[in-house]
Structure 1
Amino acid sequence: MGDPAGIGPEITVKALAHPEVYERCRPLIVGDLSVLQQAAKTVERVSGGEISVPGFREIWEPAQGEYRYGMADVLNEKLVDMEHLEIGKVSSMGGNAAFGYVEKVIGLAMEGKVDATVTNPLNKEALNLAGHHFAGHTEIYAHFTGTKHYTMMLVHQNLRVVHVSTHVSLREACDRVKKERVLEVIRIADQACRDMGIHTPRIGVAGLNPHCGENGLFGREELDEIVPAVCQAMREGIRAEGPVPPDTVFSRARGGMYDIVVAMYHDQGHIPLKVVGFVYNQEAGKWDTVEGVNITLGLPIIRTSVDHGTAYDQAGKGTAGELSLLNAIDYAARFAGRPGESKYAMQENAGE
């Protein structure tokens, strides 16, 4: 459900108002029933009844769920005191609740009780206020699954990006560009594309420095670390190319030249994807679309997520869009072995 003070509860309600979701999977909400009921009232009121918000059925084990449209099954964790919940505000209670939901779904997946997990946004400040000192979802999943080798993949339509590093300072990110890590991420990217049905993935590997360093003039990371990694990947039969100048590699991928891009650090990969996935309507004063999926690769379980934050400024208004969550649910179903067509399907198969 995500942070109870953010937009997660509202977009969860909106997503499960789509009957197509129930054709793709059996959705189970892990969160607080009281928060969801409040969110449902908000969404119904703001939509003027145009959105058919679901009712809720409290269960204690996934096997008890009925998974039928119109009555959402909820594992009620009871981590929120509604008298003290302030919508749109950072709080240790909100951070602790969001952490508790994530810990619960990881446990369910590790026990084989659910096939995939989908996360709504949490707030890192709230998380740390609650005493849970993680940089974000990815690190929580890695910790509780005992995973050492993982990476984040962002997806919007045919643009897919994986990262050599994510939640570290830019200075540290540069230091993390090492042959072994770059090669590891190339391998993970190749396997992820194959898991999505792209049989011969084409991988564009971004450079770190402007113009890929100009043969050492602007830095030697390309010569010393990235080129050796790409060469080793090619020897392994992976169709990797690079380093490609980071100011053009994403346009090439968007145009179909690559099925996935290996970015060297967080913002290098996030900015281009959000430029195409997040569209702000200046005239209307609102976001027309907030699309994109965040997928953690390398885990022993499936984890997909919305690619946006808690949006406290929109929370409680009933206006936040659910499209990114719908996309995340769709990808979770795909990775879980339900690859059928969906209303929310991405444009894929460029490398087939």
Structure 2
Amino acid sequence: MTAEAVAGPPTIAIAMGDPAGIGAELLAALLAAPDLRNAARFIVFGDKRILDAGAEVAGVDPAVAVAAVDAEFAPAVGRPLLVDLGHLGPDEVTPRTATLAGGRFATENFRHALRHAAAGKADAVFFTPFNKAAMRFAYPGYDDEIRFVRDAIGFDGPASEFNILENLWNARVTSHIPLSGVSAAITEERIVRALALCDRAMRAAGFATPRIAVAGLNPHAGDGGNFGREEIDVIAPAVARAKTEGFAAEGPFPSDTVFLRARNGDFDAVLTMYHDQGQIAMKLMGFDRGVTLIGGFPFPICTPAHGTAYEIAGQGIANPGASRAALSLAIRMARDAVKRSAAAA
């Protein structure tokens, strides 16, 4: 009997995101898709009234089973289970607006999903888009999802966001910090650590030996020191060290051309020095298909790379492509992890 047969399909914990955007309509469409609902067990944390409103906008019937938060529940393949927290009604939502109520809704759902996975009851987490302003209203210490996940499950190991477009990945050394602080934050140790985390996450997603290009910081990768010395003093030594540690890393390369090479198949991933250096390139190549993976935690956490799209919420025109890709990645990574665990048992 195969490891997959022994383990069975994975379980995905799903958190409903900001209620004022397109998240509920996207989630309803995903839950109604036969291929997705038959590929895994889904347990959704949220409010059925919000999901029903989203289903009406999307014109679908997600046909979920419903359980109370204090009940015994177990999701089944083909029938998503909604744990109805009953904490927000549609009349309490201010459409297309970041609010404290919306932030509380999203943070509570996310916390439940994370702790469910941390307790070993789910193999991955997926969430529909959050609004960062609303999250800060509800959780003043909120910097980004990584900080929230650390606090929710008590994890202090290395973690990072990865942007993914089909088989092309983008990792980064620094993330949500001011651009004025990037140069000082780039160190050899941080670059090597980012490369190691990227390699580990990509192997968990099925890459045998991830080929990672490292972008420079300055124009033309510093042009031999004419436009800055970070490439010479920090980035190149980090790449050399990473190679000695067994990583398939190359660079530093000028950031204005490295994504062209990666898109053409020379590399599987690009490690950039700061947030928008990679985000702009990835979103230009496939905004409606991009995925964000929060890697480094004991389980994968996936979401579409786009935001709450307040400007089109409630119109029934939201494109589910990125959300479908994110949920599919969560299923695939969870399934592979379940197989590995079953084979090792």
The TM-score, its normalising length taken from structure 2, stands at 0.88
Structure 2: gaps (5+ residues):
1-15, 338-345
Q: Relative to total residues, which structure has the larger helix share, 1 or 2?
A: 2
2:90, 2:295 → 1: CA distance?
Answer: 35
Residues 202 and 258 in structure 1, CA contact (< 8 A), matched pair in contact too: yes
Asked if 1:306 is matched to 2:304, the reply is yes
2:191, 2:267 → 1: CA distance?
Answer: 17
Moved over 2 A (4+): 60-69, 81-84, 130-133, 142-145
* Deviation of 1:338 (Å): 4.2
Task: Specify the alignment match of 1:342 in structure 2.
Answer: none
Task: Specify the alignment match of 2:173 in structure 1.
Answer: 164
1:160, 1:14 → 2: CA distance?
Answer: 26
2:251, 2:204 → 1: CA distance?
Answer: 23
SS in 1 for 2:147: helix
Of 179, 186, 205, the match for 1:177: 186
Asked if 1:34 is matched to 2:32, the reply is no
Asked if 1:87 is matched to 2:105, the reply is no
Q: How does 1:333-352 map to 2 (within 5 A)?
A: 333-338=331-336
Of 204, 226, 247, the match for 1:217: 226
Task: Specify the alignment match of 1:14 in structure 2.
Answer: 29
1:63, 1:173 → 2: CA distance?
Answer: 48
Residues 158 and 256 in structure 1, CA contact (< 8 A), matched pair in contact too: no
Aligned residues: 321
SS in 2 for 1:333: helix
Task: Specify the alignment match of 1:271 in structure 2.
Answer: 280
2:260, 2:250 → 1: CA distance?
Answer: 15
* Deviation of 1:247 (Å): 0.8
SS in 2 for 1:129: helix
Residues 277 and 292 in structure 1, CA contact (< 8 A), matched pair in contact too: yes
* Deviation of 1:173 (Å): 2.2
Provide closer, same or farther for how the CA distance between residues 113 and 8 of structure 1 changes in structure 2, counting only shifts above 3 A: same
Residues 150 and 297 in structure 1, CA contact (< 8 A), matched pair in contact too: yes
1:258 maps to amino acid: F
* Deviation of 1:98 (Å): 0.6
Residues 28 and 54 in structure 2, CA contact (< 8 A), matched pair in contact too: yes
SS in 2 for 1:313: helix
Asked if 1:152 is matched to 2:188, the reply is no
SS in 1 for 2:256: coil
Provide closer, same or farther for how the CA distance between residues 5 and 249 of structure 1 changes in structure 2, counting only shifts above 3 A: same
SS in 2 for 1:112: coil
1:292, 1:224 → 2: CA distance?
Answer: 33
* Deviation of 1:137 (Å): 1.7
Which whole-Å deviations, capped at 9, do the CAs of 1:325-347 have from their partners, x for residues lacking one? 111111111211349xxxxxxxx
SS in 2 for 1:64: coil
Q: How does 1:187-336 map to 2 (within 5 A)?
A: 187-278=196-287, 290-336=288-334
Of 99, 111, 116, the match for 1:108: 116
Provide closer, same or farther for how the CA distance between residues 4 and 174 of structure 1 changes in structure 2, counting only shifts above 3 A: same
2:164 maps to amino acid: V
1:179 maps to amino acid: E
Provide closer, same or farther for how the CA distance between residues 121 and 206 of structure 1 changes in structure 2, counting only shifts above 3 A: same
Q: How does 1:61-72 map to 2 (within 5 A)?
A: 64-69=73-78, 71-72=79-80
Asked if 1:56 is matched to 2:56, the reply is no
Structure 1: gaps (5+ residues):
45-51, 279-289, 340-352
2:306, 2:241 → 1: CA distance?
Answer: 35
* Deviation of 1:68 (Å): 4.9
Task: Specify the alignment match of 2:343 in structure 1.
Answer: none
Task: Specify the alignment match of 2:17 in structure 1.
Answer: 2
